[in-house]
């Protein structure tokens, strides 16, 4: 026993020496980076001995002195503000009212009037990369997010898996006495982790947030969203009149009220990321209808009017030139009447969607006022990239059709024009309106020209920012937000988090702009890259190239702009300033090497079809699924559309009969469902809401235990990409009871929306018009198997 105790004492002694040595070494080597509070974050993230007890322990409590300091929670620096981030999605530079746009955003405008508007602020031009950079303070390739997480490629700059050496601001603030909560869109989880079993280390709660309520992927239906709370999927809401933007505002208010009524004195960091105004564009009809007629002059005139307002408001320099319309955008006057009707309605839907989200933002601000905490709350309003060109030339009423290379036509959309924006639609607007939404800048989302990465940024903090309603034109980037938050909270950037050495922050604080509109920018350079397009800004000069897929990188022509004199990138100086251009191109390559941008890769949707990519689940010949479980995300289940497969439900039919869904996947915009109705077994394949292929059994379903199966034999791939044709057979207890030939299937259904496999019910929207949701199975299901060989 004595030797054992000696052994334990030696181990403890060595542990203390190592811990103290590490602390001393860190403090000495990095002392110049530390300020008041620095030791707090170091102490909380390293395994150090318990604090020294400063009380007195006697034989009895009445002669002893307690010391509560070891159990007191860490306190944020005195006066540290609450921080509320409001992240908008796909909102362009010229769409908000306070930026000269034509859409009513009175609540965002009011925030701008109590703070500062940044008119030269930039993002990465795409959602996941911008969000990762915003929350980490690092360039997007350096954290493995060259593109969205689903487009990971297996190279260091695009693993799609945020490294632990780039701790999020949520993690840093939580470790320094903040409560942290995220609400809304995430889209920062690797596609291999979209499962009910995680791994959860890149879900919000694994990256510093204490609470999460929202959707884990890039988009979701606003009327029937697939939602996650903390680390688990929850049922799709069924409340009458439900809309996601309203729900997100409700949850944000409730989370903040919970935090405030706890009376701990701790500040909060709240990240509220709306789905608005990313597709699907969906809003209450009254918000859509209020814009009827407002855009009738067309996108060319609306863009020009926005440009003129921006000049008059001082948003853009008075010498700015409006560039020609973007390539691929037709002049409004050359469109026929049917095109104009559809395009106008889609723009009205977009405007109503954004206006409705603004109303919800107003509710959150009112709640802050009612709690008496608005004065010391720093509100940051930002968009993740420019307006989106992803609706194509015509827009669409069904984005699943668009993604599957079978977009709906003008005539098809015209027949359902009054449904656009409703629960019966999944729309996106055409590129002409996104061009107008990025006024006065060239190009759009996913591009390295200004229209893709120049975005609204508003910072309001009444107790600190006194020059309210002011504008700031210093050049800044999304990686500058975290350094700004750290400076104003008096919290230093951590050197190590949970024992992992951290990347330095790549951005610079913007706090120096709060009191001085004329101070020069502290930003020295910023690179850009997206799908092979590139740009570099340095000291007012910008070199940029719009790469077209498949073009030779070495023979492309770079453009050169003096952005201090030419805000809209209208006067290309490449031929006049070849040496300046050469210097900037060399700088781009240097930055690309430094931040892991290479190799250049112009693949887009092909990235998700790369057969070498890892998958979330191990490959099996037979997969088993069970009732009363959460949705199986489509990214984590076998792709049934492109291969022969069998779906089998092992179920018991009670003596009184049965009905309901055995298994299904998708939504009303495309998918399949195996169900029992009217005493018969049914299979329906909803082909992109174009046609329902319906097969039913010739025999009735009888009471007792049964095996209900659907077998699909793929015969051929159609002439269109990602379309497949095959034969369907139905079986009851291995006896064929129904069949249909030449059933068309798309390559993917609702992968982005997240409507994956459900057992025993169809929540969300009904895959077939033959039943109403949730159409739960009234018998009992043992399991459902999917065989793919």
- Each residue of 257-282: pLDDT tens digit? 999 999 999 999 999 999 999 999 99
Q: What is the mean pLDDT of residues 658-669?
A: 95
**From residue 440, how far is each of 308, 450, 545, 570, 632 by CA, in Å?**
9, 9, 19, 10, 43
Strands 525-530 and 121-122: unpaired
Q: Kindly report the pTM of this predicted structure.
A: 0.91
Q: Where are the domains of the chain?
A: 82-519, 530-608, 617-787
Same topology, domains 82-519 and 530-608? Answer is no
Task: Kindly state the average pLDDT of the residues 62-75.
Answer: 88
Q: Between 528 and 23, where is the model more confident?
A: 528
* pLDDT, tens digit, 9 for 90 and up, residues 146-188: 999 989 999 999 999 999 999 999 999 999 999 999 999 999 9
- The token duo for 374 is 């608005």
Tell me the mean pLDDT in the region 744-751: 69
What CATH number matches the domain at 617-787, 1.10.3720.10, 3.40.250.10, 2.60.120.200, 1.10.1740.10? 2.60.120.200
Residues 193-211: pLDDT tens digits? 999 999 999 999 999 999 9
CB of 208 within 8 A of CB of 180? yes
The residue-averaged pLDDT of 620-634 equals 92
Distance CA 41, CA 22 (A): 14
Q: Answer whether 283's CB lies under 8 Å from 395's CB.
A: no
What whole-number distance in Å separates Cα of residue 511 and Cα of residue 484? 6
Q: What is the structure's pLDDT at 458?
A: 98
741 CB-near residues (< 8 Å, 6+ apart)? 727, 728
Q: Is it the case that residue 9 has pLDDT exceeding 60?
A: no
Class of the domain covering 82-519: alpha beta
For residue 720, pLDDT beyond 80: no
Closest CA to 323 of 21, 569, 644: 569
Instruction: Decide: helix, strand or coil at residue 415.
Output: helix
- In this structure, what token pair is assigned to residue 418? 């009054």
pLDDT at 16: 39
Question: Which two structure tokens, joined as six digits, stand for 444?
Answer: 């759009």
DSSP state of 125: S
What would the pLDDT profile of 425-439 be if each residue is shown by its tens digit? 999 999 999 999 999
Cα end-to-end distance, the chain, whole Å: 61
The fraction of the chain above a pLDDT of 90, given in percent, is 81
Tens of pLDDT, residues 131-150: 999 999 999 999 999 999 98
Per-residue pLDDT, 749 = 62
Query: pLDDT of 472-512, one tens digit each?
Result: 999 999 999 999 999 999 999 999 999 999 999 999 999 99
Closest CA to 259 of 86, 87, 111, 83: 83
Q: Given CA atoms 183, 187, 188, 192 in this order, what sign does their dihedral have?
A: positive
> No. of H helices and E strands in the chain?
15, 29
Q: Is the pLDDT of residue 39 over 90?
A: no
- Are residues 172 and 41 in contact, defined by beta-carbon separation less than 8 angstroms? yes
Q: How far apart are CA 350 and CA 428, in angstroms?
A: 8
If pLDDT is split at 50, 70 and 90, which confidence band does 47 have? very low
530-608 maps to CATH 3.30.450.20: no
């Amino acid at each position: 026993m004595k030797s054992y105790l000696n052994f334990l004492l030696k181990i403890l002694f060595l542990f203390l020496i190592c811990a103290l040595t590490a602390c001393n070494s860190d403090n000495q080597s990095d002392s110049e980076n530390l300020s008041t509070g620095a030791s707090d974050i170091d102490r909380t993230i390293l395994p150090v001995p318990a604090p020294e007890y400063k009380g007195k322990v006697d034989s009895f409590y009445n002669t002893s002195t307690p010391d509560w300091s070891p159990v007191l929670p860490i306190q944020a620096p005195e006066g540290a503000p609450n921080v509320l981030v409001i992240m908008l999605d796909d909102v362009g530079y010229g769409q908000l009212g306070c930026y000269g746009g034509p859409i009513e955003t009175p609540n965002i405008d009011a925030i701008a009037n109590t703070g500062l508007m940044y008119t030269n602020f930039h993002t990465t031009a795409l959602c996941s990369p911008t969000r990762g950079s915003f929350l980490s303070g690092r360039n997007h390739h350096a954290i493995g997010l060259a593109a969205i997480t689903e487009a990971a490629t297996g190279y260091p700059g695009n693993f799609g898996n945020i490294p632990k050496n780039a701790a999020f601001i949520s993690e840093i603030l939580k470790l320094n006495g903040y409560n942290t909560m995220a609400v809304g869109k995430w889209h920062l989880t690797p596609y291999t982790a979209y499962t009910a079993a995680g791994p959860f280390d890149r879900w919000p709660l694994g990256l510093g947030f204490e609470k999460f309520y929202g959707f884990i992927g890039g988009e979701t239906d606003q009327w029937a969203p697939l939602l996650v709370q903390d680390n688990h999927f929850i049922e799709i809401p069924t409340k009458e009149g439900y809309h996601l933007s309203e729900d997100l505002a409700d949850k944000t208010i409730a989370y903040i009220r919970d935090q405030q009524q706890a009376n701990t004195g701790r500040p909060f960091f709240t990240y509220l990321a709306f789905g608005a105004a990313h597709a699907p564009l969906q809003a209450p009809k009254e918000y859509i209808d209020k814009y009827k007629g407002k855009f009738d002059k067309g996108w060319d005139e609306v863009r020009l009017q926005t440009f003129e307002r921006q000049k008059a408001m001082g948003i853009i320099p008075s010498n700015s030139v409006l560039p020609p319309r973007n390539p691929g955008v037709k002049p409004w006057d050359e469109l026929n009447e049917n095109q104009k009707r559809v395009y106008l309605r889609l723009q009205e839907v977009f405007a109503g969607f954004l206006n409705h989200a603004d109303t919800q933002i107003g509710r959150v601000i009112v709640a802050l006022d009612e709690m008496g905490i608005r004065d010391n709350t720093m509100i940051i309003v930002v968009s993740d990239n420019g307006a989106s060109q992803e609706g194509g030339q015509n827009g669409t009423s069904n984005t699943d059709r668009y993604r599957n290379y079978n977009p709906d036509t003008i005539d098809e959309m015209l027949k359902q024009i009054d449904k656009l924006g409703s629960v019966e639609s999944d729309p996106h607007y055409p590129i002409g309106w996104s061009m107008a939404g990025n006024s006065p800048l060239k190009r759009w989302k996913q591009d390295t020209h200004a229209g893709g990465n120049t975005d609204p940024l508003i910072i309001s903090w009444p107790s600190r920012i006194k020059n309210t309603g002011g504008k700031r034109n210093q050049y800044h980037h999304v990686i500058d937000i975290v350094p700004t938050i750290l400076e104003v909270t008096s919290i230093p950037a951590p050197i190590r988090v949970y024992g992992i050495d951290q990347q330095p922050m790549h951005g610079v604080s913007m706090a120096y702009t709060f009191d001085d509109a004329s101070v020069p920018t502290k930003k020295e350079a910023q690179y850009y890259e997206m799908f092979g397009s590139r740009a570099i800004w340095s000291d007012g000069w910008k070199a940029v190239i719009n790469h077209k897929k498949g073009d030779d990188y070495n023979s492309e022509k770079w453009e050169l702009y003096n952005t201090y004199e030419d805000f809209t990138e209208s006067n290309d100086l490449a031929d006049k300033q070849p040496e300046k251009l050469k210097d900037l191109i060399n700088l781009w390559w240097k930055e690309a090497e430094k931040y892991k941008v290479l190799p250049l890769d112009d693949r887009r949707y092909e990235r998700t079809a790369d057969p070498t990519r890892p998958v979330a689940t191990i490959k099996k010949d037979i997969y088993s699924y069970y009732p009363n479980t959460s949705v199986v995300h489509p990214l984590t289940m076998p792709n049934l559309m492109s291969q022969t497969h069998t779906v089998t439900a092992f179920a018991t039919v009670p003596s009184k009969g049965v009905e309901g869904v055995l298994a299904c996947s998708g939504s009303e915009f495309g998918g399949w469902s195996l169900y029992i109705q009217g005493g018969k077994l049914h299979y329906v394949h909803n082909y992109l809401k174009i046609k329902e292929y319906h097969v039913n059994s010739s025999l009735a379903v009888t009471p007792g235990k049964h095996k209900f199966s659907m077998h699909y034999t793929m015969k051929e791939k159609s002439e269109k990409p990602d379309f497949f044709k095959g034969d369907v057979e139905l079986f009851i207890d291995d006896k064929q009871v129904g069949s249909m030939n030449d059933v068309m299937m798309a390559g993917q259904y609702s992968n982005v929306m997240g409507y994956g496999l459900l057992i025993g019910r169809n929540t969300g929207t009904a895959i077939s018009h033959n039943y109403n949701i949730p159409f739960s199975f009234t018998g009992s299901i043992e399991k459902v198997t999917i065989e793919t060989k």
